[in-house]
Amino acid sequence: MEQLIDQAMPTFNLLFGPNPDWKQVFLTLLTPIFLGATLVEYLYLKKEGKSFFFKKNEVITNMLLGGSYQAMELVWFALFVSAFMEWIYSFRIATIEVTPLSFAGLLFGIEFCYYWFHRGSHRVRWFWCAHVVHHSGENMTTTTAMRQSLFYAVNLHQIFWAPMLIIGFPVWAVLLAYGINLGYQYFVHTQAVNKFPKWFEYIFNTPSHHRVHHGRNAEYIDKNYGGVLIIWDRIFGTFEPEVAPVDYGIVRQPRTNNIWTLNTHEWRDMFSDALKPGPVWQRIKHIWAPPEWVRPGLSDQSNLRDKTI
């Protein structure tokens, strides 16, 4: 076994480096399972006469967005993120040994941090500029989970994991816990599953809860932020059950499958709004205010117009 590991390490280091992003390593290793689940989902929906949920062009776009996201994450981690997170870790108040029990606590802590990261990604336009890519799909299949932004790597969202680093969990463990959280979420992007037993639906994020999250129905917008658990939404008042059929997508829907445009359109709009004449404080507020915020006296800002690509 040791000989096999020694033989595999040069390839591993070539792909991921000597100090890898364990989030990306974990998700990469799960890729065959993800693709297998998607095949099972497609075959099941085809049998049920619902394979129309898989729109060819959108599925291809989802996969291209996922691949480019993975590549960008690996490169940017090596260039910046690793050092940034280690710098935060240097301010730790303790050094926590990673054991099965402490790692279970870390998973719970990461879920709490994820709730606020996800909520911030909807309520702060800077973070929404990256997250909007994930929500711009107009169908819900497991491939929607692949629909990610190039710019997650560079928008400094890593600050949301800072509490776990500061209390003393090492960077590699925090990233692995985050990867496990994201791995679970792949399977809630589906219309092939209706609902689980009530006790499970009460505690965990499920396909039903996450379909709501992807809806542009007025009652569904900015609801159900949980990654693995739904309890934080119940506690903080952002839970909404699935009742009405879900209308997928975003309010100002970009009509394109161009992955560069999907990655950049909201950044372009945000900076365009911020550069328009007016008081400096109101101009920079476009960056940290909610995406729907309207600057007083500015009648032509981007979120007041239909999306044109």
Within the chain, how many helices (H) and strands (E) appear?
13, 0
Average pLDDT over residues 258-282: 95
Amino acid at site 132? V
pLDDT at 7 over 90: no
Confidence of residue 305 (pLDDT cuts 50, 70, 90): confident
pTM over 0.85: yes
Share of residues in the chain with pLDDT > 70 (%): 93
**Cα angle 85, 163, 264; round to 5:** 60
Amino acid at site 38? T
pLDDT at 9 over 70: no
pLDDT in the model for residue 18? 57
Q: For residues 47 and 252, give the distance between their C-alpha atoms in angstroms, rounded to a whole number.
A: 34
Structure tokens of 152? 């997650």
Residue 266 vs residue 52, higher pLDDT = 266
pLDDT at 28 over 70: yes
pLDDT digits (tens, 9 = 90+) for 103-140: 999 999 999 999 999 999 999 999 999 999 999 999 99
pLDDT digits (tens, 9 = 90+) for 160-213: 999 999 999 999 999 999 999 999 999 999 999 999 999 999 999 999 999 999
Average pLDDT over residues 153-160: 91
Confidence of residue 238 (pLDDT cuts 50, 70, 90): very high
Q: For residues 65 and 54, give the distance between their C-alpha atoms in angstroms, rounded to a whole number.
A: 16
Confidence of residue 5 (pLDDT cuts 50, 70, 90): very low
The whole-chain average pLDDT of the chain stands at 92
- Report which of 114, 107, 83 is spatially closest to residue 173, judged by C-alpha positions: 107
pLDDT at 17 over 70: no
